[in-house]
Amino acid sequence: MTKAHWQGLLEEMPRHLFVPDIAVVGPIMDDPRSWIDRTADPARWWEVVHSDTAIGVQLDDGAIDLAAKTGVDPCAVATSSTSAPHLVATMLDLLDAGQGDRVLEVGTGTGWTAALLARRVGEANLVSVEIDGPVAARASKNLRSAGVTVQVVTADGTKGWPAQAPYDRVHVTVGVADIPYAWVEQTRPGGVIVLPWMPGWRTGHLVALTVADDGTAEGRIGEPCGFMMLRDQRRSPSLIDGVARRSQTMVTPREVAEAGEGFEVALAGCMPGVEGGGFDNDDGSYRLVANTDDSRILVVHRPGEPAAEVKQVGPRNLWDEIVDAYRRWCSWGRPGRDQFGLSVTRQGTRVWLVDPSQPMDAP
C-alpha cells in the first residue's frame, strides 16, 4: 500500500469533515499525547486527521464525555472510530464495488467510509447500519455536511438489513469472530463480503468472502488487522474459580505465542473460542495467557530457566491443547496465513487449510 494510494482517499473525501474537535489517538487515556483537540492545538489536529492514523471518536459506548480528555478513566476504551486510511483503502480494494452495485455497510462509525462508498456505487445504492443511535445521528450529520446523501439505519448489524437485500457487496467495519450468516444470506451469488475476522488470538485478519450459488461463502485469510469487536461478540474476562494445576513445560511460551500468523489462524481452527497472546514482563520474563469461557492458563518463562511454569484452571488443559495445535501446525510444514481460509454456512464459520475440502476440526 503506497502512501499516495491512501492519501487519494483523503483527497476524494476529506476526513476532517467526519472527525470531532476532540478525539482519541492513543491507548493511554491519562496521557495528553493520546488526544487531539482542534481548539487547543489546531495544527496537531489537522496533522493527525490527515495522517494514516486510526482516530477514536467514542469511549465506553458514549458513557464518557470526550471533552473530559485526560480526566477520564484510564481503563476506558474506544468504542467507535475512523479507521487508518491505509486500512480503509485496502478494504475498499478488496470489496471492489463499482457504480450501480448495491452495498450494505455494517458499522457506520463517523460516516467517512460510507461517503467513500457512495462515491463509488451511487448514493441510492448504499445502506449503512449502525447499532449506536447517537453515533448514527452524528454520522448522518457528518454526511450531510459533506454533501452526501446516504441512508443510515440504526439497527443491529448482525442481522444485516433484509429490506434492501440482495446486495452485491457487504462492507463490515467491525471485528467478528463468528460471521453472521445473515450477511451471506443477504448477498447475491457471486457477491463479496469484506470483513475483519478477529478470532481472539493476538490479532485479526482481513477476509474477502465470495458467496456461492449454494448459499455458502468462502475466502482466503488476508493481511493482519485490528478492529473493535461487534458489540454482541465483545469479550470480557470471566472469573473462573478453581484450584490451579501447576506443572512445567519445555515448550517456551514465546515459541508458541510468536510462532507467526499462520499458527494464529491454525489455532483458531483447532481451538475455536480460545483467546490470548504473549507478553514481555518488566523483569525480563515472558508470559502467555489464554482463556475460554470456562478455563484459563498462565505460562511464565523466566530468563535463564530451562522450563516455564504452567498454571491451568478449569476443566480444560488449555496449555496442552495449545501445544498440541502448535505441533500439528509444525507437522503441516508451518503454513502461512495465506494457506488458510474460511467457509461460512448456516452451521457457522470454519477454518480450512489449502482448500475448503480440508476443514479443520477441534481436536
Cell 463509488 sits on residue: 120
Say which residues have a Cβ less than 8 Å from residue 331's Cβ, sequence separation at least 6.
none
Exactly one of 80, 83, 128, 343 is catalytic; name it. Answer: 83
User: Coil, strand, or helix at residue 118?
Assistant: helix
Residue 171 to residues 160, 194, 334: CA-CA distances in angstroms?
11, 5, 31
Residue 164 to residues 126, 230, 345: CA-CA distances in angstroms?
9, 22, 21
| Sign (positive or negative) of CA dihedral 58, 138, 18, 174 | positive
Other residues' Cβ atoms within 10 Å of the Cβ of residue 332: 13
Q: In the annotation, is 83 catalytic?
A: yes
Give CA–CA dist 54/33, Å, rounded: 14
Residue 116 to residues 18, 79, 122, 153, 362: CA-CA distances in angstroms?
12, 22, 10, 17, 40
Peptide bond into 32 cis (omega under 30): no
Q: What are phi and psi of 142, to 5 degrees?
A: -60, -45
The per-residue b/e assignment along 177-194, b for 16 or more CB within 10 angstroms, e otherwise, is bbbbbbbbebbeeebbbb
Do residues 331 and 352 touch, judged by C-beta distance below 8 A?
Answer: no
Do residues 128 and 105 touch, judged by C-beta distance below 8 A?
Answer: yes
Cell 485490528 sits on residue: 226
Do residues 70 and 32 touch, judged by C-beta distance below 8 A?
Answer: yes
Active-site positions read 83
